[in-house]
């Protein structure tokens, strides 16, 4: 079977090559999948895509017409693929759900601590030989209320870490996790209670039609003015316009994210020469109390190794005609 890897980045290719160990004929291309690049899949039975690729209905139809049968995502999130359409076209789709919840949870904590202790500001200051502390006031994590929306694989690891800091943990999830209640005294509450009572809020739900713009003007109105909001899930769970208003109106104290609502065409590439035309993103990047990283939470050696292994494991299952444990079905329908 021939595999075409879209959005292949130089740093991940060695991991994919090692995991493949020459059993599949693989072509790596830097291009993201979209209506223009779908044609590149001609002659390939399988493709692999990442979260910046666009597997919408039109693209999926093209892929089917070109003879593609299998799509394996190198990501846990799958909001960028229309699963229902894929099924209709007879395409099998699988993701990489559990490659390293620790990588994402740890990056969430890195963002939280950096935003709280103003590491990004301190770094900028000392590089121009300013060793003052007056702009660097933060708070202790101990005894703070940490509110988490989504206690799945990543959220559960985050709960464990934040429990280690001595935080009181409030959680909101469609499926409360009893183990987290028993082990860490987590209290499951409605999202409104999270917004009202938390000193820190972390978003760890998938992007679905239910979670799209979940953090809205109404949600910001309920939050404490000193709250720090962290989003390492998907950008469109937070309404960017509402976020900017909340920051302007000092309704929240800071925002850190590894994701952005309109990453497509901006993230995963160097725009430093030509700049960007996305005004809301430019506005966010101009605030000192906003910290954005370029969707890098998964960029650890362990995560990349596991993503690569899972990618070929998914293909192996399909080739052998065995059930694929990561195959996405109708129950996983998203936007
Ligand atoms: P998961 O599926 O293990 O957990 C998601 C949790 O959200 C589940 O417990 C589910 O019940 C809950 N949930 C879903 N819809 C909800 C709703 N409407 N209200 C309340 N709870 C809801 O997923 P996992 O592995 O923890 O990943 C979460 C998300 O993190 C992914 O969907 C992905 O978008 C994002 N992610 C980001 C990465 C990055 O590099 N920044 C890397 C990996 C994942």
Question: 333: which residues sit within 8 A by CB, 6+ positions away?
Answer: 83, 84
How confident is residue 331, by pLDDT bands cut at 50, 70 and 90?
A: low
Q: Is the pLDDT of residue 201 over 80?
A: yes
CA of 240 to the centre of ligand 1 (A): 19
Report which of 195, 200, 155 is spatially closest to residue 179, judged by C-alpha positions. 155
Q: Is residue 229 part of a domain?
A: yes
Q: Is the pLDDT of residue 59 over 50?
A: yes
Give the pLDDT mean for 51-76. Answer: 97
In a shared domain, residues 90 and 146:
no
In a shared domain, residues 307 and 189:
no
Q: Return the CATH number at 13.
A: 3.40.50.720
In a shared domain, residues 147 and 273:
yes
Give the pLDDT mean for 243-250. Answer: 98
Q: Is the pLDDT of residue 198 over 60?
A: yes
CA of 273 to the centre of ligand 1 (A): 34
In a shared domain, residues 263 and 180:
yes
In a shared domain, residues 49 and 133:
no
Please tell me the predicted confidence (pLDDT) of residue 329: 81
In a shared domain, residues 143 and 90:
no
In a shared domain, residues 197 and 66:
no
CA of 198 to the centre of ligand 1 (A): 20
Q: Is residue 171 part of a domain?
A: yes
**Contact present, 184 and 207 (Cβ < 8 Å):** no
Q: Is residue 86 part of a domain?
A: yes
Pairing of strands 46-49, 70-73: parallel
In a shared domain, residues 147 and 251:
yes
Please tell me the predicted confidence (pLDDT) of residue 333: 45
CA of 51 to the centre of ligand 1 (A): 14
In a shared domain, residues 75 and 122:
no
How confident is residue 334, by pLDDT bands cut at 50, 70 and 90?
A: very low
Ligand 1, atom 42: closest residue by C-alpha: 298
Q: How far apart are CA 184 and CA 178, in angstroms?
A: 10
Please tell me the predicted confidence (pLDDT) of residue 237: 98
Q: Is residue 10 part of a domain?
A: yes
Q: Is the pLDDT of residue 45 over 60?
A: yes
Return the CA Rg of the chain.
21
In a shared domain, residues 115 and 69:
no
- Report the domain count for the chain: 2
Mutation pick for ligand 1 pocket among 106, 204, 212, 298 (CB with most ligand atoms within 8 Å) = 204
Please tell me the predicted confidence (pLDDT) of residue 148: 99
Give the pLDDT mean for 243-269. Answer: 97
Q: Is the pLDDT of residue 335 over 50?
A: no
Domain that residue 117 falls in: 101-292
295 is catalytic: yes
In a shared domain, residues 229 and 247:
yes
Q: Is residue 25 part of a domain?
A: yes
Strand, helix or coil for residue 150: coil
* Residue appearing with tokens 């229902």: 84
Per residue in 115-169, pLDDT tens?
999 999 999 999 999 999 999 999 999 999 999 999 999 999 999 999 999 999 9
Report which of 75, 77, 66, 73 is spatially closest to residue 92, judged by C-alpha positions. 73
Sheet holding 228-231, edge to edge: 187-188, 168-172, 145-149, 200-203, 228-231, 254-257, 290-292
- Residue 210 burial (CB < 10 Å; 0-12/13-18/19+)? exposed
**Contact present, 311 and 270 (Cβ < 8 Å):** no
Q: What lines the ligand 1 site, CB under 6 Å?
A: 76-77, 97, 101, 104, 150-155, 172-175, 204-208, 210-211, 232-234, 258-259, 295, 297-298
Mutation pick for ligand 1 pocket among 193, 219, 233 (CB with most ligand atoms within 8 Å) = 233
Give the pLDDT mean for 81-92. Answer: 96
Q: Which atom of ligand 1 is nearest to the CA of 172?
A: 20
Q: Is residue 202 part of a domain?
A: yes
User: How far is CA 12 from each of CA 15, 16, 134, rounded to the nearest angstrom?
Assistant: 5, 6, 41
Q: How far apart are CA 263 and CA 277, in angstroms?
A: 12
The mean of the pLDDT values for the chain is: 96
102 is catalytic: no
Report which of 140, 142, 137 is spatially closest to residue 121, judged by C-alpha positions. 137
In a shared domain, residues 174 and 270:
yes
**Contact present, 7 and 32 (Cβ < 8 Å):** yes
CA of 79 to the centre of ligand 1 (A): 11
């Amino acid at each position: 079977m021939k595999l075409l890897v879209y959005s292949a980045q130089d740093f991940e290719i060695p991991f994919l090559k090692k995991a493949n160990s020459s059993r599949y004929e693989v072509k790596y291309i830097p291009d993201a999948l979209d209506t223009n690049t779908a044609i590149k899949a001609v002659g390939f039975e399988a493709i692999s895509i990442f979260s910046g690729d666009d597997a919408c209905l039109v693209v999926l139809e093209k892929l089917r017409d070109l003879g593609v049968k299998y799509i394996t995502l190198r990501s846990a999130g799958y909001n960028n693929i229309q699963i229902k359409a894929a099924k209709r076209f007879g395409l099998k789709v699988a993701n990489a759900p559990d490659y390293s919840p620790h990588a994402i949870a740890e990056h969430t904590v890195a963002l939280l601590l950096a935003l709280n202790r103003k590491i990004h500001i301190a770094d900028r200051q000392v590089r121009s030989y300013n060793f003052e502390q007056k702009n660097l006031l933060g708070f202790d994590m101990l005894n703070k209320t940490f509110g988490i929306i989504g206690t799945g694989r990543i959220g559960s690891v985050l709960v464990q870490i934040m429990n280690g800091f001595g935080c009181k943990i409030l959680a909101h999830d469609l499926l409360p996790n009893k183990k987290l209640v028993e082990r860490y005294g987590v209290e499951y509450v409605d999202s409104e209670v999270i917004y009202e009572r938390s000193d820190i809020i972390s978003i760890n739900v998938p992007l679905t039609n239910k979670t799209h713009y979940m953090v809205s003007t109404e949600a910001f109105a309920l939050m404490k003015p000193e709250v720090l909001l962290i989003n390492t899930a998907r950008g469109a769970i937070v309404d960017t316009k509402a976020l900017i208003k909340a920051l302007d109106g000092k309704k929240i104290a800071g925002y850190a994210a590894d994701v952005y609502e309109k990453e497509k065409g901006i993230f995963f590439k160097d725009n430093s020469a030509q700049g960007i035309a996305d005004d809301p993103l430019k506005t966010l990047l101009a605030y000192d109390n906003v910290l954005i990283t370029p969707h890098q939470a998964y960029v650890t050696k362990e995560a990349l190794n596991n993503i690569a292994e899972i990618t070929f494991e998914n293909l192996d299952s399909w080739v052998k005609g065995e059930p694929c444990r990561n195959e996405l079905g109708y129950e996983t329908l998203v936007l």
